[in-house]
Amino acid sequence: MPRLLIHAGFHKTGTSSLQATMRKNADKIADWVRVNTPEETKDLRLAAWLFARGSDEDTEELLREAIQAFFAQFDAHDPRDVLITEEDLAGSMPGRHGKTRYDTAPRTLCILIEELAKTGFADHDIAILLTLRQTEPWAKSCYSQHLRSRPMVSDLETYMTTPAAKCDLAACANEIAAAVAPVPVHRAWLEEIGNLRLGPAEAAIDHLPQLSVHRDVMHPTGIANGTLPAELAETYLALNRQDLDPMELKQAKLQARRTYWRARRQEG
């Protein structure tokens, strides 16, 4: 039977690189797997995000409806494997919206499995993939992402003392596995998969039986959405500490990024 692999996070564990590789090679591997990256999962991602923020009856109903609508788009009788890679299924990144860990992920993925049982995909071989990372480098990467996309005003040293920076991804994965059992939960550590030929995408390929024997046709993409260079991080922090409205801040960061990389190209 076809495999339905749900790559549900976590953030800053090579997810963007995994998605970029699968997206770049989607046409080459279309005979063996249907690839769904965040471009295809927008409504599902929003519903999972709202559930992570609220976790009440209304947001759960929205989540269930979004799951049903998402899978209704596809032919459940298609014999190919299916990959869904969407880190926001795990909820909000710790450090945002008052979150210190992935506390809603077990329930979100349990609801996903429950709703899949009501669809034609119930006959698929369903599995969950989680990519993980050691706590300190993961927290530093999260901090970099907060600087990039949020008005983070704490310096790195201060951020690393917060509960969000101490989130134990392995413990979160264990909680998810207990919630969705007997559906298997596969784990892959970025420290082990990051330097493979196809990078973090290898973790997904390993669990897509139809694709795994054809991985040689795929081309790598390299690192995507990596940690900010130290100089640019300092600039973003200084901008975040100014009294700018959201649009002004976004534009200032964009200009700072362009200036930084233009200078690097000239140096090269």
Distances (CA, A) of 184 to 6, 30, 58: 11, 25, 29
Each residue of 138-169: pLDDT tens digit?
A: 999 999 999 999 999 999 999 999 999 999 99
pLDDT band at 229 (very low <50, low <70, confident <90, very high): very high
- In the predicted model, is pLDDT for residue 226 greater than 90? no
pLDDT of residue 238: 97
Q: What distance in Å separates the CA atoms of residue 69 and residue 42, rounded to the nearest whole number?
A: 12
In the chain, % helix, strand, coil (3-state, to 5) comes to: 55, 10, 35
pLDDT band at 264 (very low <50, low <70, confident <90, very high): confident
pLDDT of residue 79: 97
Each residue of 60-114: pLDDT tens digit?
A: 999 999 999 999 999 999 999 999 999 999 999 999 989 999 999 999 999 999 9
pTM of the model: 0.94
Distances (CA, A) of 8 to 55, 85, 87, 128, 247: 18, 6, 5, 7, 30
Amino acid at 131: T
Task: Name residue 3's beta-bridge partners.
Answer: 125
pLDDT band at 224 (very low <50, low <70, confident <90, very high): confident
